[in-house]
Structure formats: C-alpha cells, structure tokens
Structure 1
Amino acid sequence: MRKNLLVYGVLIVIFGIGISLILEVGSRLHPGQKFPYKRLVPAQGTTPALLPQQAETAAGHPLNGLLDNLHHPLSILLLQVIVIIMAARVFGYLFQKIGQPAVMGEIVAGILLGPSFLGMLSPGMEAFLFPEASMGALKLLSQIGVILFMFVVGFELNLQDLRQKAHAAVLVSHVSIVVPFFLGGAFALFTYRFLAEANVSFTAFALFIGIAMSVTALPVLARIIEERGLSKSYLGSTAIACAAVDDVTAWCLLAVVVAIAKVSGLNG
C-alpha cells in the first residue's frame, strides 16, 4: 500500500510540474489565428434535399401527404429513432464480427450520421433527418435511455464490493487521468491559437482539453463490461468504480475551468 501511495505521489508531482510548464508556455500564446490548412466545412445556405414545396410541384404524387406528415415533430422523432436504431444495429453487428464491442460500432454509426460525415457529404439530407428544432426532443430521449441503462448496470453491481475497492479505485483512476491530462495540455499548446476564442485564457482552454482527453465515458465502459459479462467480476466492478471516480474528478475540474473562464471573461 505504501509503495502504491509513493508511486501515486511521484506521478502527481511529475505531471503536475509538466502541466505547470505547459501553462506557463501557453500563457504567452495569442488566440484567434487561422489554421495553416483549409478545413472542410459544409456549404453554407444549403436547403434540405426534399421539401414539402418541392413535393407539391408533382401534382397528384402519392408521396405528397407522406412528405407533409414527415415534417410533424412526432414524425421526425420517430424517423430519427428508426434511422438511429437501424444504423446502430448494423454497425454494432459488423464490429462484433471483427471482435470489437458493439458499442464501438454504435459510436461510429453516430459519427457517420452526424455533421462530420453525413452533414459534409449531404447537408440537405442531414438537415432533413436532424433539423435543429428537433434536437431537443432527441437529446431528451437519449438521456432517458442512458438513465435506464445505468440503472440496469447499477442493479447488477454489488455496493459492498465497490466500498472495498474504493481506495484502489481512487489510486487507479487518478493515475489513469494524469497521463492523458498532461497530453491534452500539451496538445492545447498547438491548438490554442487556432481554436480558442479571443476572450478565453490558455489555462481554461488547456484544462478543458485535458479533461476531455482524460475522463472515461462511464456509459460506454459500462456497456462494454456488460457485453463481456464482467459486471459481477472483480475486474468489472473495479473498472466501474474507477470510472465513477473519474466522473467525480472531472466535474470538480470542470467547475474550476468554468470559474477560470468567467474570471478571464471579466478581466478581458
């Protein structure tokens, strides 16, 4: 136990010094510069691929009523759910065939349906499937799904085992945070000038990037553990405990980032 604490302390000191040096160097950088390369962005002012007005031009077409109904909020939500479930199932199945967790395929499906792929290739289709006005209902539905899934995961965990692993979970989770946090801060040195707003300090920007790089997504990890049948094993429960500690640490660090950003905005 003392050896673990010693290693933990040494890592914290080393990476703390490294992050301090990164913040010192980054404080001399100035945001607002342009990337040295041209970024790919969807064309501005694009319209959906198929609008009700366009459908009505074909008089007597049997799809006119259907297309009109598709622009009802409930119809759009149902269409989004169908498309998302089908894409998630297909890519989850394909990833399972190559020995990867299904959740990885579902993440890839989300990327392909989002602005990074579909929005770039066909902005009109993306605007038709996922209009801005419908995103609130879709996000609410997704949050309900995450809550129900985490309830099922928590139902299978043994709270007594988690208490016994609390000390080890804190050590493991914090050690697993400091390395990617340091790398995220180093990455901020190269991206601060191009991505940060003019009124955002380097400290807040670097801390935010570090948090984003270092925190494990608890629902994703829980899904992988559940798929592998490790929910009731020592490894699975320890991993869940570590991810929970990661989330608590992330929220604490995020509160610091918000405070720093507000102070920077007031001073700016």
Structure 2
Amino acid sequence: MHLCIDVLPPNHSLYERIPPVQLKRNSLFYIITLAAVGAVMVMVLQWGASLPVPEGVPAVAKAPSTAVHAASANALDAMWHGIAGHFQSPLAHLFVQLLVIIAASRVMGKVFTLLGQPSVIGEMAAGILLGPSLFGAVAPDAFAVVFPASSMESLKLLSQVGVCLFMFAVGMELEIGHVRSKAQTAVLVSHASIVFPALLGVILAYFLYSNLAAPGAKFTAFALFMGVSMSITAFPVLARIMQERGMTKTRLGGTAITCAAIGDVTAWNFLAFVVAFAQSTGVAGTVLNLLLLVLFMVVMIFVVRPGLPRWIGAARLGKDEPSGGVLATILCVVVAAALFTEVIGIHALFGAFLAGAIMPDTHGFRHKIAVRVEKFSSVLLLPLFFAFIGLRTQLGLLNDWAGWLVCLVIIVVATLGKLGGTACAARFAGMNWRESLQLGALMNTRGLMELIALNIGYDMGILSPRIFTMMVIMALATTLLTGPLLSFFGNRGKAPDGASLGTTS
C-alpha cells in the first residue's frame, strides 16, 4: 500500500503520510483479521472431514497423477514429474505451438523483409519449414512433441478463425468508389486476368487428373478448382508490395488496386460456385446452394449494409476509439455471416469477406475496425494458418524428377496465364507495354489468398497431398517473382535517360 501511495503525484489527495499510531492500528487489524479467518476455516474443514460421505452414483475415479507416483521419491523428482504431467495437457501443447509458430514467423518475416520481399512471404515460408518438410525431417522427436497428431484439430479451428478475421479485414479494404471510377478498364483487365489462367488451369487439369486428383474426386470439380486456383490474386499482398515501392498514388498503382479488387470479388464468387458444385449431390443441390448464396448477398447488401449505421449510431461511428458494444455488434455480424455461408455448404470465409465489404465507411469507421482486427489476426492467428498449411505440405512427396517437372509446369502455366492475360488486356485497353507487363507481374501475386483456396480444396477431398504440395510451391514462387519481375519490366521499359520506350495508344 505504501508503494501505491508513493507513485501518485505529490499534489494528489491520497498522497499523505499515515500517522505512526494509525499505521500500528492498521497492521494489528490486518494480522487479527487474517488469523481469525484462518482459524475459522481450519475449524470448519476439520468438522467437515467427519461428515458421512453422500450416497449415490460414485464419481469417476481420476487416474493418479505422475506426482502421486513420485510421492515416495524426493521432492525434486516429484516436482519434475508434476511439470512433465502438466506439460502433456492440450492447453500447454497449444501454448508451446503458439510460441514456436509466432517466433518462427517473426524471424522469417524479418529475413524476407531484409531480402526485399514482403514479410508475409517469410511467414508463409516459416509455416512450411515448421512442417514435416524440414522440422519433421531434421528433428522428428521434437516435431512429434510440438505438433502431436492429437493437437491438429484445435490448431485447424484456430487457424480457420484467423483466416475468417483476415478475410473480414480484406473485405473492408475494398473501395467501391475507386472501383467505379475505373470500371471500364478495370473490369476488362481483371476479368482477362481470371479467364485466361482459368482456361489454362482447366486444360492442365485434363492431363493431371488421373495421377494427381484426390481419390474419388470428380473431374469437373478438380478441373474447375485448378482453374480458380490459377486465377486468384492476393489483393492484400499486392497492396503491400505497391506501398513499399511507393506506387499507390501512381496511375499503374491505382489501376492495379482496382483490378485486384474486382478480380478478388470475381474469383471468390467463382470459387463459391465451385465449392457449391463440389459439395452438392447433383444439379438441383448446386442450384439450391447458389440461390441461398444469392439470397444471403441480397440481404447483406440491401438490408444489413444500410441498417448498420442506424444500429450502431452516428455518434458511435464518429468516435476515435470504438466502444466494446460497437466491436461486439461488428463481431456478431461477422460471425453470423460466416455461420450462414458455412451452414449452406459454401464456406465461412465468404460470409466473413462479404461482412467486411458491407461495413460503413463513415468517419473512417472501416479503418478503425480494420486496424484492430488485422493486427490481432496477422500477429497471432494467421501464423497458425501458415503452420497448418505447412503441416500439410510434404516436399518429400516430390521425390522424383517427374514430380518436380510437373511442379515447374504448373508454375509456368500459372505465370503465363495470369501475367500474359493481364498484360495483353491492359495493352488493348491503352496502356503501354511497360506498364502492361508490370501490371501483369502485380496481378500474378497469389500469396495467402491462394493458400486459403488450396486449403478449401484439400478439405473437400479434391486435391491430393501431392498436387496440394505442388500448388503451395506455385503460390510461393509466383509471389516471390512479383518484385523481381516488377523491377525487370520497369528497367526494360525505360530508355537510358529514363523516358519510357512504350507507346500509349
């Protein structure tokens, strides 16, 4: 108590010395109170020990702990066995996993930042390094202790929560007004960046289906999933790359952001269709799932979106610090939206994404919520998703030259379809070749969004572990290539004096 008083300012009303007489009285009262309470508790416990045991159904006997077995040993051994016993609890395992995953993600993120790459690529790489491809191969005993098979379900659920929060933040980053201002060029380029790689993905699936599809997967579902996997752009990673390079205010940067935003919405709707088709048992089931999805979108856009500002209140929207009630309301909307899309057989991610897209933007409300949600999910929960993907990625499955050759073909096809389709459409829309190729390099970024889509395909039994590993490598490779290709096309498109060699139609 004395320390608490001393740290107060000198002019504080509580900052005064306690008279010695009062101090003695307080101390005596304190001691008597503790002694009296302790004596009464001991008496009650002694009297209660002599009461008859209640009759009825006996409680389940609890297995003796390691510490009980060690009661005959010395105190040090007993303490050690007790700690070892508690270490085996699910909560202790989860905390160990969190420590390992967060530390590895931070270290690898810093390493890749120093190498000129976005930190998210390092975090993705950290997830793979923590899996059986490296950690499990180098230290299998330690790997079994940190990531036992019994802990995978809880790790999966937490990672899915993190991805849902991340998709909610991605939805809030979409600027509809910006999209409308560049609608004609952006729709042409973004849709070209989807249809061409999707077509190449479907064609490639024809040759890969027999050997690489998951057992029991239908060709149509496998081919459509390969197509949508080839056509995805990682909108958040792309935005961060341009921010680091100072491109956000340029014409190229604005076009890229708009194209990526439209492409994200289109690609995720495409993926929703694929998921609805794969989950249903026939055409009628697919139509029903899609009708429910359309109904959900109509309610979210025309009922929830205009109603949120009224439910929250204009005064609360304008506050710099959102209250607990406001955050609770927003979380209820996100969870309800994610629950609905999960129940109708689409995926919880789509509901979370749409919940972010319909958030009000009055007084910068979106930014206030996004900062809080994104920091929490990106630091704590998203690394869990990367680690979970890494635990599913087994580089050892590519143990022959044919496997690595197929993986290389997938990377080349994905890059040609995305980069080539975007560049040709941008050139047709009036951009010069330098900017068109740079835009293609930016749209070729797949990153985390690709991993999310691949994880859905793996959970649905469409992708086998072997093709899943190849597609994860493709996602990392295309994201790593974004920066070098951006610099290469920028340098090749400039004359020695800095003038652009491309012509604008």
TM-score between both structures, scaled by the size of structure 1: 0.61
RMSD: 3.5
Map 1:110-149 to 2 at 5 A.
Answer: 110-149=127-166
* Structure 2 residue aligned with 1:250: 271
The one-letter code of the counterpart of 2:87 is L
Q: Deviations over 1:161-190 (max 9, x none)?
A: 234345544433321122322332343234
* Structure 2 residue aligned with 1:189: 206
Q: Deviations over 1:16-38 (max 9, x none)?
A: xxxxxxxxxxxxxxxxxxxxxxx
* Structure 1 residue aligned with 2:110: 93
1:102 maps to 2:119: yes
Once the two structures are TM-superposed, the CA of residue 257 in structure 1 deviates from its matched residue by: 4.1
- Alignment partner of 2:181 out of 146, 160, 164: 164
The one-letter code of the counterpart of 1:195 is L
Decide whether the 8 Å contact of 1:118 with 1:126 is kept in 2: yes
Q: Deviations over 1:107-153 (max 9, x none)?
A: 00011112333334444433322223323332333333334445555
| Structure 1, unpaired ranges of 5+ | 1-51, 264-268
Whole-angstrom distance in 2 between the partners of 1:157 and 1:202 = 34
Decide whether the 8 Å contact of 2:170 with 2:236 is kept in 1: no
The one-letter code of the counterpart of 1:83 is V
Once the two structures are TM-superposed, the CA of residue 79 in structure 1 deviates from its matched residue by: 1.2
- Alignment partner of 2:84 out of 46, 62, 67: 67
- Alignment partner of 1:241 out of 252, 259, 262: 262
CA 1:153 to 1:68, structure 2 compared with 1: closer, same or farther past 3 Å?
A: same
| Structure 2, unpaired ranges of 5+ | 1-65, 71-75, 286-505
Decide whether the 8 Å contact of 2:113 with 2:119 is kept in 1: yes
The one-letter code of the counterpart of 1:94 is V
CA 1:70 to 1:261, structure 2 compared with 1: closer, same or farther past 3 Å?
A: farther
- Alignment partner of 1:204 out of 210, 216, 221: 221
Once the two structures are TM-superposed, the CA of residue 231 in structure 1 deviates from its matched residue by: 7.1
CA 1:127 to 1:70, structure 2 compared with 1: closer, same or farther past 3 Å?
A: same
Relative contact order (C-alpha < 8 Å, sep 6+): which is higher?
Answer: 1
Q: Describe the SS at the equivalent of 1:208.
A: helix
Q: Describe the SS at the equivalent of 2:220.
A: helix
The one-letter code of the counterpart of 2:223 is A
The one-letter code of the counterpart of 2:101 is I
- Alignment partner of 1:180 out of 183, 197, 203: 197
Whole-angstrom distance in 2 between the partners of 1:67 and 1:229 = 52
Decide whether the 8 Å contact of 2:225 with 2:271 is kept in 1: no
TM-score between both structures, scaled by the size of structure 2: 0.35
* Structure 2 residue aligned with 1:20: none
Decide whether the 8 Å contact of 2:93 with 2:146 is kept in 1: yes
CA 1:145 to 1:257, structure 2 compared with 1: closer, same or farther past 3 Å?
A: closer
Once the two structures are TM-superposed, the CA of residue 207 in structure 1 deviates from its matched residue by: 2.0
Q: Which has the larger radius of gyration?
A: 2
Whole-angstrom distance in 2 between the partners of 1:226 and 1:69 = 46
Decide whether the 8 Å contact of 2:186 with 2:258 is kept in 1: no
Whole-angstrom distance in 1 between the partners of 2:90 and 2:241 = 33
Q: Describe the SS at the equivalent of 1:60.
A: helix
Once the two structures are TM-superposed, the CA of residue 93 in structure 1 deviates from its matched residue by: 0.7
